[in-house]
Chains A and B, each alone.
Chain A
């Protein structure tokens, strides 16, 4: 069986699995990393959102063979480490605004939020309503308003 190597939350990992198995299942079913959730497997609900080399990606749409050995995959479990703290400022804001309800979509929401703030900043502006309207992550509990509040607050802290 083919071998695939990439860097997961700062540590190199190698897995034996067919080329076309999507990264989400490599993370969840092979490596036991369950923070990224399945919500559709179509790149639509974005519940599995994680980062590849610092950018938001839906692992359900990435064949594991697309990854290079140097590619940095960061899931919600590895998010605090990128700022060297127990929690990322986005997670702190999530607690402050008590955003989560059932919590199923929230790891993906937080990973998307971090990327969205950085994306807006790279485009030369702070995140605002127009950027929020572009976030596609589904929250079936309807926490959208608190997500906006939390991102606005967190964006001041990283």
Chain B
């Protein structure tokens, strides 16, 4: 996005005072399109679509017509409240949104309340939480609304205090006259309200006067989180909504043919209902423990699923057959090439909070409670499946226990509605962890073929062909693309290809550059995982960059510096090289790696030190995977403007843990239509023993003055950095990820029938 630069005209917007009993305001405007930065060195590459207009621009533009519906209310206790039409799943948007309000209103952060709005179909495309877009698309509207409120409060105070507005001062929610007389927002909330809706013009605070935006702030829900008071969907008490679980098939999308012992299971202790539904056999009971027992007791005849004949090797064959050809012709005499092919295995975006939802479906209405990032789509689809009009279905958006892409979908909400209807009772539906891994959505397996040619000190061409099992974007991005596709510079291509084109870019001047996607096989339950295609595409590219540097006799850091297009990219790279002491002498079996990732108007550079010595990889971890240890990470990030640098640091740290996992340890193994992993001791996400003891995040000072996306870009940067470090430490470029995928399984797979394991009974003997 282009720098708006200083100037009053660029900070003036229209907002609304909404007719209400206490002061209520709304905002209208969104952002405008950016322009590309010009390539500066080496053989310039034409700007790729994602440099000019990326996925975030599309989401922001799609949000424009309805962004004015962001509404803030000033309450009679002096607090300001906003029902944010987004999901909070740990990424910190309630805190950063509260900071925007606190800034423009000159109100302490502790006096701002941010809740999550129910599904609001009138918002059309503007209630999707994804692609790191929340702050980008709401940064201006929230501030405009808050500024309108501040102006109204000042006018009301001027009347009450008998002084003109310019002589009033505002601090911490108190307006003070030159006489020393003062009034609080609490006292003014009613007087500042309007009987009619008015359009007003406001000027936003000059960034040089910011006292809140850009300062590190703790999360507004931190106290609730550390005391156990923070409520997730399964913590809510909805009358009659008893614990409910589903007995699921042994293979992906298997089907129920018969249930041999339905009555016997229904008679088990605590069990109230058993019902066959489209995804399996649902049981409802007094406790989840009794539901687990009932699921295990069910004797079900299962029909085939959609992928019963598929295993890792067969999917790999499908991908190879679907790969698009490279187009650069045979090489001229003085040119050399780097040719590489990478495999990225299935991965799970399972959050720690499993898929879950509460549903109360009646004959003429339905009410749903769930952490969903696409609540309007959920509301529409559930209404359609229940045969109810859309307004009869209420979808309450509950704070989520992580998402990582998983909650872009509403699988549990849809299923809970189906089960509630089948049983005629409210249900509190939760997936078992084992189901969440085995039947939950996956990040699809993919391959990346790369060929780069170079000669006479320049990279002449760079071609990348990414081939993937199809990613499901049916959560609503598709609708936005349908609406917006006419104005995209990518021509008439499909949804996934559009997403690919809008997110993937080569930050280097590598001459003729093409990156293309092709997809196969729609039989899997897939979805985006944090950072969509980028970690895999970027990892492949950065490994090839190291190969190019080696081929041209250059240092990996200096090589990147020379070919980078954007000075912001160079700045973060320089930062990590300096702070991380790039090039320092490392012991045998250990090495540094360096990588860069641009996305969503932001840049991240990651310097990694890794220990691949036998002493480290041979560590004995009971029921765990040791592997190489990332011993140090230095990460520098420039998102244009960090609204909350502390929240941004947290996002970088989390992204780094994800990057470490998908490079070194975590994947799903597919065997005859079943994913073998069934617990966190089998799906090897980063644990404490894999965590870098030394971790430093550097948040760059504001550059563009506008916030870019923050929630995802560290994953790609970290994956690439870890892979490059691993290659340098071992002397061999890894080509399959995670690197341990083809090693013997590190666990004994759980049975598929019964579909879920019993809970152990030896808890007290393992006390510490």
Chain A residues with a Cβ under 8 A of chain B = 17-18, 20-26, 28-30, 32, 34-45, 47, 52-53, 55-63, 66, 75-77, 80, 87, 91, 94-95, 98-107, 110, 115-116, 119, 129, 132-148
Contacts and interface: CB of A to CB of B under 8 A. Distances in A.
B653 A104 contact: no
Contacts of A28: 234, 288
A19 B693 CA distance: 43
B222 A94 contact: yes
Nearest to A75: B228
Given A29-B243, A44-B681, A145-B692, A104 B766 contact: no
Contact of A133 (B654, B688, B761, B762): B688
A142 B761 contact: no
A18 B290 contact: yes
Contacts of A20: 289, 293, 761
Contacts of A116: 768
B77 interface: no
A102 B764 contact: no
A129 B546 CA distance: 33
Nearest to A129: B693
B274 interface: no
6 contacts: A18-B269, A43-B763, A44-B623, A62-B763, A76-B228, A107-B228
B680 A106 contact: no
B760 A47 contact: no
Given A29-B287, A40-B679, A42-B433, 6 more contacts: A21-B270, A25-B290, A29-B243, A37-B232, A60-B759, A100-B219
A55 B759 contact: no
B764 A45 contact: no
Most buried by B among A21, A32, A36: A21
A100 B230 CA distance: 11
A72 to B, nearest CB: 12
Contacts of B688: 132-137, 144, 147-148
B89 interface: yes
Contact of A98 (B91, B287, B289, B646): B646
A135 B622 CA distance: 12
A23 B433 contact: no
A141 B243 CA distance: 26
Contact of B290 (A21, A40, A62, A143): A21
Given A104-B401, A105-B352, A56 B767 contact: yes
B80 to A, nearest CB: 22
B349 to A, nearest CB: 9
Interface residues of B, number: 76
Contact of A58 (B350, B680, B763): B763
A141 B287 contact: no
A59 B763 contact: yes
A38 B400 CA distance: 13
B125 to A, nearest CB: 25
Given A29-B286, A41-B292, A100-B219, A146 B759 contact: no
B215 to A, nearest CB: 13
Contacts, number: 235
Contact of A91 (B218, B226, B237, B658): B226
A57 B767 contact: yes
Interface string B209-222: 00000000011011
Contact of B768 (A91, A107, A115): A115
Given A140-B351, A142-B654, A34 B235 contact: yes
A142 B227 contact: no
Contact of A101 (B623, B650, B687, B768): B650
Chain B contact residues: helix, strand, loop or mixed: loop
Chain A CB within 10 Å, residue with most, of B224, B653, B688, B768: B688
A128 to B, nearest CB: 10
B228 A144 contact: no
A118 to B, nearest CB: 9
Given A101-B654, A136-B687, A142-B658, A44 B679 contact: yes
Given A57-B766, A57-B767, A76-B228, A42 B757 contact: yes
B689 A133 contact: yes
A135 B688 CA distance: 6
B653 A146 contact: yes
Contacts of A139: 352
B352 A61 contact: no
Interface in B329-359: 350-354
B743 to A, nearest CB: 21
B92 to A, nearest CB: 7
A87 B767 contact: no
A94 B689 contact: no
A94 B222 CA distance: 8
Contacts of B91: 101
A41 B432 contact: yes
Contact of A94 (B226, B433, B623, B658): B226
A22 B757 CA distance: 14
A63 to B, nearest CB: 5
B510 interface: no
A87 B227 contact: yes
B16 interface: no
B657 interface: yes
Nearest to B232: A104
B759 A61 contact: yes
A81 B355 CA distance: 33
B55 to A, nearest CB: 23
B223 interface: yes
Given A140-B351, A141-B402, A41 B763 contact: no
Interface in B187-226: 218-219, 221-226
A58 B766 contact: yes
B234 A38 contact: yes
A76 B227 CA distance: 6
A61 B222 contact: no
Contacts of B226: 76, 87, 91, 94-95, 99-100, 103, 106-107, 110
